Chain A
Amino acid sequence: MLVVMLIPVVLIVLFGFAISTEVNNVNVAVVATERTDCVNDAVNRIAHNNYFNFCGFIDQDQIDQELRSGKVSAVIVFASDFDRRMAQISDGLPSTPIIQLIVDAADVNTAGASTAYLQEILLGSESKQAMFETRMLFNPQMKSAYNFVPGIMGLIFILVCAMMTSVSIVREKEVGTMEVLLVSPMRPVKIVFAKMIPYFVISCAVLVIILLLSYYLLGVPMSGGVWGIFSLSLLYVVLSLSLGLLVSIIAKTQVAALLISAMVMMMPMMLLSGMLFPIENFPKIFEVISTVVPARWYIDAIRKMMIQGSPFIAVWKEFAILLGMSVIFLSVSLVRFNDKLE
């Protein structure tokens, strides 16, 4: 009943209000050798634009680092002769001032939209005749595989581990075999871990298959190191298994387990993890909610390592958050599991 009432409300609010495929709050930094009037003018317009956040001036050699760390998603570079060429234009001489746009294209949708917006905004000024040189960093061909592979990985492990585990444990409860197992000398914890092992093995196989397919078939770079991606994914698998365990303890029937998995885990993870819609676009409240969605951190970290080529060390924060979540889920479910026996 609650579910039936709640789902439409959540969907309407999320889709209609929170989730937009347009870009919002894109962090932009500017490189300019001289802060001339033209440059200041352009910066002002970006700073006052709702779609962009101006994050300050940076040096030429900081560009790569700023983008790689994810602090900014786009950098505007005004060439050193930009002002001179602009002056030539105003004097009626033929000249082409050059503005370089360097965009983080790990997320294809955002990159495409923000490039278009930026060009519009910058062209609005006197720099009408300016020429744009756009560089799509990390994903020069704007391949969408780069965008969806991390998302799909986030989805699959929740599906395989959390959903399958919970359903298989709850089925035993429903059929009555769990009761017999509980009366047997087997420790309850042992029973549950034994039930998880097949799904863990399957997940590992799936992980290997996905990584092979992404690398050889889709050409995803994996430049951050396969072992880093692998260990992060293993952690995520463990996290999903603990989630599944938690669901199986709460749910009494298989249907309930499926519903909980679908509504409480799948939906938020598809909508709020940044898999389909960029998180930066969310209103504050949804952004806050999204921080408790494990997939958000996983997808983010995988994107960084697979596409942007960040080393494992660069995602330590995401790793720590996922680790913390696993510990919490696992201990909560183990405590609840023992209570249930009472």
Chain B
Amino acid sequence: MSEIVISVRNLTKRFGNFIAVNDVSFDVYRGEIFGFLGANGAGKTTAMRMLCGLSYPSSGTGTVAGFDISREGETIKRHIGYMSQRFSLYNTLTVSENINLFAGIYGLSKKDTAKRREELLARLNFSSESDTLVGALPLGWKQKLAFAIAAIHHPEVVFLDEPTGGVDPVTRRQFWEMIYEASEGGTTIFVTTHYMDEAEYCSRVSIMVDGELRALDTPTRLKQQFNAESMNEVFRTLARDAVREE
């Protein structure tokens, strides 16, 4: 197997008596598209926040891009990209301004920023829109732009939190093509999603139920293991016994 980018052992997060994430362990390899599935309230977001350095684990250990999640959260932030389900660029800034802003936040020099901005605009066929306000773009375009910007500093891992919520199937397809492209370039993708057809696109899929990791394998092997036709069935088999709700 190739190099490990994310490694988590016995990761646990408690809020008072409530155990949001219970004793979770897994590894993610370089260039992988790692699907992170679970019903609402299963602990996906909490786990992801710990990996992004936004929250400390109650117990257990983990490393992201070689840095400890308990002690080096701030360093981790420099080596990851992040895109959330809510559209998160500035609507009142133009496409170029958004690119410049985030490039600046990640400490890119003026020269690098200009170079990457041109690359990015060319790749997305956005060159003509560089002075358009982001708020005026269609949602699908916005999401693509947001993903491109999340990867502007060439991070080792890009975390995508339900990136395709509310996007039409065609744009979703295009969006996944972008994800593939990035992963072929060596970027590791850590993605949560609700769409089971998207789970099929992942290299490996993990499924969380009630704060615990119930399954982790390639989509093909998961389907064999649960004797299911599709990932949808696998998910429903596992999520059926879920105690927790929203």
Contacts and interface: CB of A to CB of B under 8 A. Distances in A.
B72 to A, nearest CB: 12
A62 interface: no
Contacts of B221: none
A185 B74 contact: yes
Contacts of A187: 74
Contacts, number: 45
B52 A183 contact: yes
A342 B106 contact: no
A191 to B, nearest CB: 9
Given A341-B54, A341-B55, A181 B105 contact: yes
A184 interface: yes
A8 interface: no
Nearest to A177: B88
A185 B88 contact: no
Nearest to A174: B86
A341 B49 CA distance: 10
B195 interface: no
Contacts of B84: 176, 179-180
Interface string B139-161: 00000000000000000000100
Interface in A170-196: 175-177, 179-187
A186 B105 contact: yes
A311 B26 CA distance: 68
Interface in A183-225: 183-187
Interface string A145-182: 00000000000000000000000000000011101111
Contacts of B86: 175-176, 179
Contact of A183 (B82, B87, B89, B90): B82
A182 B53 CA distance: 9
Given A177-B88, A186-B105, A342 B77 contact: no
A180 B54 CA distance: 11
Contacts of A180: 82-84, 88, 102
Nearest to A176: B86
B106 A177 contact: no
B56 interface: yes
Best-buried of A184, A186, A187 by chain B (most CB within 10 Å): A184
Contacts of B199: none
B56 A176 contact: no
A175 B91 contact: yes
B11 interface: no
B80 A183 contact: yes
Nearest to A187: B74
A299 to B, nearest CB: 36
B107 interface: yes
Contacts of B83: 180
Interface residues of A, number: 14
Nearest to B149: A180
Contacts of A184: 77, 82, 102, 105-106
B71 interface: no
Interface in B147-200: 159
B90 A177 contact: yes
Contacts of B74: 185, 187
B78 interface: yes
A244 to B, nearest CB: 20
B160 to A, nearest CB: 12
A181 B149 CA distance: 13
Nearest to A172: B90
Contacts of A179: 82, 84, 86, 88
Nearest to B105: A184
A201 B54 CA distance: 31
Interface in B16-64: 52-56
Given A183-B80, A184-B77, A177 B89 contact: yes
Nearest to B159: A183
A342 B13 CA distance: 11
Contacts of B77: 183-185
Contacts of B52: 183
A342 B88 contact: no
A342 B159 CA distance: 18
Nearest to B78: A185
Interface string A296-320: 0000000000000000000000000
Given A341-B54, A342-B55, A176 B88 contact: yes
Interface in B87-107: 87-91, 102, 105-107
Contacts of B159: 183
A185 B77 CA distance: 5
7 pairs of A and B residues whose beta carbons are closest in the complex: A176-B86, A183-B82, A176-B88, A185-B78, A180-B88, A185-B77, A184-B105
18 contacts: A176-B86, A176-B87, A179-B86, A179-B88, A180-B82, A180-B88, A180-B102, A181-B105, A183-B52, A183-B53, A183-B54, A183-B77, A183-B80, A184-B77, A185-B105, A185-B106, A186-B105, A342-B55
Given A176-B84, A341-B54, 20 more contacts: A175-B86, A175-B88, A176-B86, A177-B88, A177-B89, A177-B90, A179-B82, A179-B84, A179-B86, A180-B102, A183-B52, A183-B53, A183-B77, A183-B159, A184-B77, A184-B102, A184-B105, A185-B74, A185-B77, A185-B78
